[in-house]
Amino acid sequence: MTESPRPRPATLKDIATAVGVDISTASKVVNGGGISVRPETRKAILDEAARLNYRPHALARNLRTRRTGAIGVLLPDLTNPIYAATIRGAVRRAEELGYVTLVAEAQDDAASASIYSKLVAERRIDGFIIAVAAKRDLIAAIDAQPVPHVFVNRRASIGRSVTVDDEAAARLAARTLIEAGHKRLGFIGDSDEMDTARRRRAGFFGEARKAGLPDVVDAVEPYSRRGGFDACLKLLAAKPRPTGIFASNLLVGISALAAARSLGVRVPEDLSMVTLDFEDANYSAPPLTAIAMPLDEMGTLAVEELHAMIEGREPKDVVVDVAPTLISRASVAPPPKWPDSPADAGQ
């Protein structure tokens, strides 16, 4: 049996002929170019393109505009579920805008600079979404080969940024512990060199001071599984030790829970804990009370701001206008009675 031939893909000439316009007019309307035509003509062209299921030739279009149709995304840790949520929103919006997404991991400043320079020099991308810290090597690479770029989940002095309200999230975490009756609070965060850690620390400490509580016990370790484990051990060794902890990163929260368990400290009977949310927090033991952040929206807006830069429009710094929300689970309870006993105050 002979297969019937495939239908020929629609062309701009087909659209132009059907509507009765020049091919150049049809091309500029379909491809979004600047051209003044009557609204009814524009509508007729777009309607005919939709009817014929017309698909622009991406390679030819990119050759004309000297664009690649790709954007780069630079992450510090591909295993961190927080980035998975952010990148999901970014990839979906990028696809809607006609981009493919190249994702790369860089665990230090030198690697960040190397990846940035390579992709820009080889003209593989039209712009970058950057989720790593802007340190010396990366700053030098951006200065040497500037392309449109947007920092996501962190602020930097050398580019626009899209962030969530980390301070509000940390304030909500503090209030959650305070309203449960905790007076001695602990905070697990990264170095203040990291913009997100600095903002989360400011929000949490500020809310504790507002409530008139004693100084928060602070443990500084990298936002990593090992960092969270070690930081929790430090807090639990403090005298007097905190009864409520905010682990200001999900990986840190899950590993802090493991650290408490390794010492026989029960959550929430002996220690309450709050972290930032992602699906994994619901499957720890016990499930972690957490602050949900608009990560998907952050990724979406980062792509939109980058697209604005690529198109030559003026970008802006954006804080996602979605408030953090509390997800109450099983890791927060009133403080244990033993801290009120002088004999046990150092436990």
Per CATH, which fold does 67-164+296-321 belong to? Rossmann fold (3.40.50)
CB atoms within 10 A of CB 121: 11
- Of 31-35, 83-87, 261-265, 341-345, which gets the smallest average pLDDT? 341-345
The pLDDT of residue 292 is 94
More confident residue, 345 or 100: 100
Q: Is the pTM of this model over 0.85?
A: no
The span from the CA of 75 to the CA of 86, in Å, is 11
More confident residue, 340 or 167: 167
The span from the CA of 303 to the CA of 91, in Å, is 8
As a whole number, the mean pLDDT across the chain is 87
What is the pLDDT averaged over residues 60-66?
A: 49
In the predicted model, is pLDDT for residue 55 greater than 80?
no
Q: Averaging pLDDT over each range in 5-14, 33-42, 51-60, 273-282, which range is the top one?
A: 273-282
Q: Averaging pLDDT over each range in 73-77, 253-257, 334-338, 340-344, which range is the top one?
A: 253-257
On the question of a cis peptide bond just before residue 287, with omega within 30 degrees of 0, the verdict is: no
Cβ distance 324 to 293 under 8 Å? Answer: yes
The pLDDT of residue 66 is 62
CB atoms within 10 A of CB 325: 13
Where does CATH 3.40.50.2300 sit in the chain? 67-164+296-321, 166-292
Instruction: Report the DSSP beta bridge partners of residue 275.
Output: 247, 290
The model's pLDDT over 243-291, given as tens digits with 9 standing for 90+, comes to 999 999 999 999 999 999 999 999 999 999 999 987 788 889 899 999 9
- Residue 121 in tokens: 């020099």
Q: How confident is the model at residue 56 (pLDDT cuts 50, 70, 90)?
A: low
- Among 329, 242, 229, residue whose Cα is nearest residue 288: 329
On the question of a cis peptide bond just before residue 240, with omega within 30 degrees of 0, the verdict is: yes
Q: How confident is the model at residue 346 (pLDDT cuts 50, 70, 90)?
A: very low
Coil, strand, or helix at residue 15?
A: helix
Q: How confident is the model at residue 345 (pLDDT cuts 50, 70, 90)?
A: very low
The pLDDT of residue 161 is 92
- Residue 67 in tokens: 């664009």
Q: Averaging pLDDT over each range in 135-139, 175-179, 247-251, which range is the top one?
A: 175-179
CATH class of domain segment(s) 166-292: alpha beta
